[in-house]
Amino acid sequence: MTLETVIGIEVHAELNTKSKIFCGCSTAFGGETNTRVCPICSGQPGSLPKLNEAVVERAVKLGLVLGCDINKNSKFDRKNYFYPDLPKAYQISQLYFPICTDGKLEIDIDGKKKNIGIREIHIEEDAGKLIHSSGEGGTYIDYNRAGVPLLEIVTNPDFRNAQEVVAFIERLRETMLYLDICDCKMQEGSLRADINLSLRQPGGEFGTRTETKNLNSLKAIAHAIEYENKRQAEIIKNNGKVVQQTRRWDEDKNTSFPMRSKENAQDYRYFAEPDLQPLEISSEWLNEIKKNIPELANEKRERYIRQYGISSYMAEVICTSKNLAKLFEDLAQKSGEPVEAANLITGELMRLINETGAQADTFAIDENKLAFLISLVVSGKINRSVYKDIVAEVFANNIDPEKYIAEKGLLAVSDDSVIIAAVNQVLSNNADAVADFTAGKEKAFGFLMGQTMKNLGGKGDPASVKRILLKILKERTA
């Protein structure tokens, strides 16, 4: 009998507050090591933490959107352990009374919806970063990251495969980006996940799990799940016992190895953080935060379909990024042609973004120029192929479309007399194709159409060319 995979995950999200969680140091990523450090975040004796309100606000925002209970009274605890990246030798976290509990997030797997339970979201602080120098040997420590605020989002063991986990992280990422609480750059470590995995007889009791820590790409997550699944299945097949442990994933070697046997809460000697007050959230504050929650991706998707009449596929593509969604609304409004705008973004622009390695989240383009081009193509003043070329020029070189069209003479030829002349010339040069058309061969029409467009230097307005070509052919064969 095949065993069933059971997965629960713990996601760490670095919040995008300007300053750290308990001091005024900047949270900016990178930069010179140990330059964003003060007595508080470097753990100097006698320094006292002061909670950053913006952290609480972001936690509550996410909790509300994920349908959690927001606990009006939560508390901070000390999680004690010694490691050089943790200057105080304890991390301030929330063990007993987390700020948000009992929520859910819906994922969509090939059109099938599934709810993943969120057990809790709690607030904590990040540790510094160890830099293992391969050149000179030795290990260096950068405390710039120490005290950067984190949310830890803990799910129930509701996943059954890697596809569901990846879908969950993508949806969570989208949610946090729309809420503007985390930049979600997995490659910079602002979003990372621990994977708890066990196997069981389908529907039976949970098996012993392992935890694979700190996965910071979707690829690593999928690979680590696949690897751990196989590893445990092999152990069980050989009548062995899976040992509960924490493992480290090595993406380069596509393998994981044990870091330590699984620790318990007791091992951390948790106790209530004496330097911070219990955290109270008033109803007024909660309402204030509720009011400031922006429109989220799923709401936008539905509205776009309803209000602008675009397809659900297009709405899906556009809403993968707040930046694209904003561009779409600007273009729809400025051009008055929402479907055309959606086509442009999901077709030509996505192609250009992918081709050039640009980021949908951050790329910029002049929406006035695009709206102008949309109005030209819709009114037949430029044809589709010219339109595509100019969009690419705006994307790559930010050219001025009006000037560009004038300089290169790209306005569509819709002057009937010019088109009639071209058609007559093409028909006399292609007597065979005309005969084929008369004999009922549909293909011949496409060929003649192509020849006429070529004759017009690619600038013929296709609708006019088609109309005139048909008319003249009919007259000739009547």
Binding site for ligand ADP (CB under 6 A): 6-10, 154-157, 196-198, 206, 209
374 forms part of the interface with Zn ion (CB under 5 A) = no
The closest residue (CB) to ligand ADP is: 8
Strand duo 73-74 + 279-280: pairing: antiparallel
Residue 247's binding partner, choosing from ligand ADP, Zn ion, none, with beta-carbon cut-off 5 to 8 A by kind? Answer: none
Given the complex with ligand ADP, which of 235 and 392 has the nearer CB atom? 235
Question: Rule CB under 5 A: is residue 38 a binding residue for Zn ion?
Answer: yes
Q: What are phi and psi of 98, to 5 degrees?
A: -70, 160
The binder of 6, among Zn ion, ligand ADP, none, by C-beta within 5 to 8 A per type, is ligand ADP
State the sign of the Cα–Cα–Cα–Cα dihedral 324, 330, 334, 337: positive
Point out which span in 15-23, 334-342, 364-372, 415-423 binds Zn ion (CB under 5 A): 15-23
Cα–Cα distances in angstroms (integers) from residue 272 to residues 55, 94, 99, 223, 390, in the given order: 19, 9, 15, 38, 63
State the minimum distance, in angstroms, from the CB of residue 133 to Zn ion.
Answer: 25
Please give the Cα distance from 393 to 369 (Å, whole number): 11
C-beta closer to ligand ADP: residue 99 or 317: 99
CB 455 within 8 A of CB 425: yes
CB of 39 to Zn ion, least distance (A): 7
Residue 216 or 321 having the CB closest to ligand ADP: 216
Question: Choosing among ligand ADP, Zn ion, none, which partner's interface includes residue 38 (Cβ < 5 to 8 Å by kind)?
Answer: Zn ion
Q: State the nearest-atom distance from the C-beta of 264 to ligand ADP, in Å.
A: 7
What is the distance between the alpha carbons of residues 437 and 423, in angstroms, rounded to a whole number?
A: 14
**Shortest Cβ distance from residue 37 to Zn ion (Å)?**
6
Give the count of residues interacting with Zn ion (CB under 5 A): 5
Whole-angstrom distance, CA of residue 326 vs CA of residue 342: 12
Report the residue number, 87 or 207, with the smaller CB distance to ligand ADP: 207
Q: Minimum CB separation from ligand ADP for residue 162, in Å?
A: 13
23 binds, among Zn ion, ligand ADP, none (CB under 5 to 8 A by kind): Zn ion
- Partners of 92 in the β-ladder: 78
Rounded to the nearest 5 degrees, what angle is found at the Cα of 156, between the Cα atoms of 152 and 157? 120
Cα–Cα distance, 103 to 66 (Å, whole number): 5
In whole angstroms, the minimum distance from the beta carbon of 15 to Zn ion comes to 15
| Residue 25 in contact with Zn ion, rule: CB under 5 A | yes
- Between 198 and 256, name the residue whose CB sits nearer to ligand ADP: 198
With CB cut-offs between 5 and 8 Å by kind, which of Zn ion, ligand ADP, none does residue 8 bind? ligand ADP
Q: For residue 20, give both structure tokens.
A: 């750290």
Residue of 14, 18, 219 lying closest to 129 (CA atoms)? 14
Residue 18 or 230: the one with the smaller Cβ distance to Zn ion is: 18
224 contributes a contact to Zn ion by CB under 5 A? no
Q: Would you say 87 or 157 has its CB closer to ligand ADP?
A: 157
Nearer to Zn ion, 38 or 218 (CB): 38
Question: 328 near 344, Cβ under 8 Å?
Answer: no
User: What residue spans of 146-296 are helical by DSSP H?
Assistant: 162-179, 218-237, 283-291
Nearest distance from residue 7's CB to Zn ion, in Å? 36
> Does residue 148 touch Zn ion according to CB under 5 A?
no
Residue 241 burial by CB count (10 A; 0-12/13-18/19+): exposed, middle or buried?
Answer: exposed
Count the neighbouring beta carbons within 10 Å of the beta carbon of residue 336.
13
From residue 278, alpha-carbon distances to 77, 89, 153, 272 in Å are 10, 22, 20, 9
Q: Does 23 help bind Zn ion (rule: CB under 5 A)?
A: yes
The burial of 404, by beta-carbon neighbours within 10 Å (0-12 exposed, 13-18 middle, 19 or more buried), is given as middle
Q: Compute and round to an integer the Cα radius of gyration of the chain.
A: 30
Closest approach, Cβ 30 to Zn ion, in A, equals: 17
How many helices and strands (H and E) does the chain possess? Answer: 16, 16
Q: Closest distance between ligand ADP and the C-beta of residue 199, in Å?
A: 9
209 binds, among ligand ADP, Zn ion, none (CB under 5 to 8 A by kind): ligand ADP
Contacting positions for Zn ion (CB under 5 A): 23, 25, 38, 40-41
